Amino acid sequence: MKASFYKRSVIDECFFQNILSIYEKEITKIDLYKITQLLPKPDTLVVFNVDVSVLKERTKKDAVRRDFGDEYYAKWKEVIYKNNELFIDELDNLYISYTLISNQEDFDTIIEKYEK
């Protein structure tokens, strides 16, 4: 509701990609398609495609699921990266309007891309 007051707004940032982190095993394309059919479709999904090395650096101190032990945590993080890679690779096949933004793009480039 609040977003309707603005010309442009971001709702549920990272929602789609966060959904992928609930899995403890790599998902398949079929799993991904099923998930996206269940979720509400945004007008435009803005996807931040960040290099895995950057993700690993940013999440070093992340406490989520660390209580399950180091081995579990390391495997789970790899699953997240693989599931995110599948998500990025399959975006064109998910019937969702999206804009893909890489972490190398500056603000003006991002705005220009989004305005198209």
The answer to whether 61 touches 30, Cβ cutoff 8 Å, is no
pLDDT tens-digit map of 13-58: 566 777 788 888 999 999 999 988 888 888 888 888 888 888 788 7
Burial 12-22 (b: 16+ CB within 10 A, else e): eeeebbebbbe
Q: What is the mean pLDDT of residues 89-103?
A: 88
pLDDT at 75: 93
Higher-confidence residue of 109 and 9: namely 109
CB 48 within 8 A of CB 54: no
DSSP 5-19: GSSS---STTHHHHH
- Is this model's pTM higher than 0.85 or not? no
Q: Would you give the end-to-end CA distance of the chain in angstroms?
A: 25
C-beta separation of 48 from 103 below 8 A: yes
Neighbours of 97 (CB within 10 A): 10
pLDDT at 4 over 70: no
